[in-house]
Amino acid sequence: MIDLHTHCFFSDGELVPAEHVRRVEILGYEAIAITDHADSSNIDFILPRIIKAATDMNRYSSTRLLAGIELTHVPLELMDELTRYARKLGADIVVAHGETVVEPVRPGTNRAALEAGVDLLAHPGFITMEDARLAAEKGIMLELSGRKGHSLTNGHVAKIAEMCGAKLAVNADAHGPGDFLTKDMARIVALGAGLTLERYEQVRRDMADFVAAIRS
């Protein structure tokens, strides 16, 4: 199991990174990313602390912790600058908080994030064909979310991604210990969005390849 989008107590999650990792280590996770919510006000506070946690935890845990950030409700004009800044700070993964239908995310956020070259566009809502094609061109993953509300458009995201050849990722968007996906639940999220088992296995391989590229 791999999850590329979760939150600890540095934003709106519940757990310290050590417990966060231990919870999924018990579930057999190969890797997990902590990607706490950030904008220009706190990115330089959160990311170095997650990096420090990853440096320490990866010495002792069988589950690899990836240090990331989720750029959340940021102005479109700042998306590129903050994406580059996150990478400068040492982020393993940059996630953008996409145009979920359950929050008033600014229209155009999906496009700005894709143009900025984030690694993962989280819960992208009713993503357009044009934007999905750009994701495919750039190798940016589109998320199928296990989180209530954000998951409402999973079927749309999966269909558009398949039509455009965009990569997918299945993530919990976990904020607490009850949110982490088991292997069976991750499969249900994928199949519920309309993926075949074969396609879901490809999604898992793509996520594993992303983690492997960070390790290399």
Cβ neighbors of 41 (< 8 A, separation 6 or more) are none
State the Cα–Cα distance between residues 77 and 205, nearest whole angstrom. 33
What does the pLDDT read at residue 215?
Answer: 75
Tell me the C-alpha to C-alpha distance, in Å, between residue 172 and each of 14, 19, 151, 169, 191: 14, 17, 10, 10, 15
State the Cα–Cα distance between residues 180 and 6, nearest whole angstrom. 9
Longest CA–CA span in the chain (Å) reads 44
Model pTM greater than 0.95?
A: yes
Read off the CATH number of the domain in which 77 is found.
Answer: 3.20.20.140
Domain count, the chain: 1
Instruction: Please compute, for residue 15, the number of CA atoms within 13 A of its CA located in the half-sphere on the CB side.
Output: 20
Domain region containing 106 = 2-215
DSSP letter, residue 147:
S
Q: Distance from first CA to last CA of the chain, Å, rounded?
A: 19
Cβ neighbors of 142 (< 8 A, separation 6 or more) are 120, 121, 124, 127, 132, 135, 157, 161, 166, 167, 168, 169
Tell me the C-alpha to C-alpha distance, in Å, between residue 70 and each of 37, 94, 168, 201: 5, 6, 17, 25
- pLDDT tens-digit profile, the chain (216 residues): 999 999 999 999 999 999 999 999 999 999 999 999 999 999 999 999 999 999 999 999 999 999 999 999 999 999 999 999 999 999 999 999 999 999 999 999 999 999 999 999 999 999 999 999 999 999 999 999 999 999 999 999 999 999 999 999 999 999 999 999 999 999 999 999 999 999 999 999 999 999 999 976
